[in-house]
């Protein structure tokens, strides 16, 4: 699976980024990669917790300037 589903939640406070991520993962096919962009510092805690609790795999967390970038895989 080469392309990522992009969820841009910059400018929103938690729990909105996590809720948008959850919606995208629910709609995504099995094995899909979803990239979430957020700028709320609480997302750094909320998103990994959500991923672990939901059985999703957090592949990457990158911090650039004011943006957090999470790459999550939906299980097959």
CATH of the domain at 49: 3.30.110.40
Token couple for 5: 């589903």
Looking at residue 2, its pLDDT comes to 62
Average pLDDT, the chain: 95
Beta bridge partners of 58: 72
Contact, 50 vs 16, CB < 8 A?
A: no
Q: What are phi and psi of 74, to 5 degrees?
A: -80, 135
Whether pLDDT at 50 is above 70: yes
DSSP-based three-state secondary structure for 64? strand
**Number of domains into which the chain is organized:** 1
pTM for this entry: 0.94
* Structure token digits, residue 48: 């990994």
What is the structure's pLDDT at 54?
A: 96
pLDDT at 1 over 60: no
The percent of residues above 90 in pLDDT, for the chain, comes to 92
- Stretch 35-58: mean pLDDT, rounded? 97
Per-residue pLDDT, 65: 86
Containing domain of residue 69, as a range?
4-73
């Amino acid at each position: 699976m080469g392309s990522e589903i992009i969820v841009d939640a910059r400018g929103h406070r938690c729990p909105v980024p996590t809720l948008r991520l959850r919606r995208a993962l629910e709609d995504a096919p099995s094995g899909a990669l979803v990239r979430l962009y957020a700028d709320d510092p609480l997302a750094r805690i909320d998103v990994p917790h959500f991923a672990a609790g939901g059985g999703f795999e957090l592949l990457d967390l990158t911090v650039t300037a004011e943006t957090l970038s999470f790459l999550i895989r939906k299980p097959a």
